Amino acid sequence: MDAIRHFELMSDAAQLAWAGGACWLVAVFATVMERRRARLRNVARLERVGWMPWTTLFVLTAMLGAGLLALSLPVLLKA
């Protein structure tokens, strides 16, 4: 609970920066999972891969994270 309270007390730019960083972490995770799925060699396992669109998830979270970081950058550079 203390971490949530600390996040609430941060400036808007700092909150945007943290949210952008979190989006980039999700994008990295999506990239790792897509590479893992692409390297499957067993055809029986390939048919059971799942429905998660990792590439789409990567693109969306990377763009959202970049936008959030770009919005927070001017205020953070002044500090």
pLDDT at 9: 86
Three-class SS of residue 74? helix
Range(s) of the domain holding residue 68: 13-78
Tell me the whole-structure pTM to 2 decimals.
Answer: 0.79
DSSP 8-state secondary structure symbol assigned to residue 51? S
- Give me the number of domains the chain comprises: 1
Q: Does the residue 6 lie in any domain?
A: no
CB 16 within 8 A of CB 69: yes
- Per-residue pLDDT of 17-27, as tens digits, reads 999 999 999 99
Check pLDDT > 80 for residue 50. no
Q: Does the residue 43 lie in any domain?
A: yes
What average pLDDT does the structure give for the chain? 86
Q: Does the residue 1 lie in any domain?
A: no
